[in-house]
Amino acid sequence: MQPITYMTSLFTFYLKGEIKSEQNFISFKVPNTILGLIPLGAQTEKFTISQIASTATNTRLSLKYLLLGILLVLWGFSGLTESFLLGLILLLLGINNVVNAFIINLVVTTTAGQQKIISFLIFDKQKANQAAEQINAMIAGRLDDTNTRQQTDRVIDANAQQTDRII
């Protein structure tokens, strides 16, 4: 699995989250911030492939954030003439809320039923889908490796081919 990096917030575009695999582990790294602006470390979690039951992506729209964002954008535009700095801040907050209203989540469910939810910006929807596909491919590979019937059939076929070559 190739490492996948994604933006976690529009304001902190320079902070990137990361999903990567290390042998039989999937590692999730999400940066932590204070008030959504000041970087403060990162949260890292690792799961073994055998602990992951499924992955899914969930795309939805938060009407509350969308309406709040539109109101802040309008308020920011009207405030630009009176106080440029206050208007600009309101405008930026409004744009951030509008972008964050489109929610894309990667949901990783463990075999114990725990769910790890990773949020992506709308711009990184393709990366969320790519991560889900790659994790599902790793789960399928693990299931193939642990399927004793398939392994036995492979050994029998290999032995039959070896016997045919000897004869």
Contact 103, 66 (CB under 8 A): no
pLDDT over 80 at 95, yes or no = yes
Pairing of strands 52-61, 102-110: antiparallel
**Confidence class for position 145, pLDDT limits 50, 70, 90:** low
Section 23-30 average pLDDT: 90
Section 98-107 average pLDDT: 91
- pLDDT top residue among 75 and 146: 75
pLDDT over 90 at 160, yes or no = no
Q: How far is CA 67 from CA 3, 9, 120, 133, in A?
A: 35, 19, 20, 33
Instruction: Provide the residue count of the chain.
Output: 167
pLDDT over 80 at 101, yes or no = yes
Q: How far is CA 118 from CA 7, 59, 144, 155, in A?
A: 11, 12, 27, 41
Task: At 82, list the tokens.
Answer: 């009176």
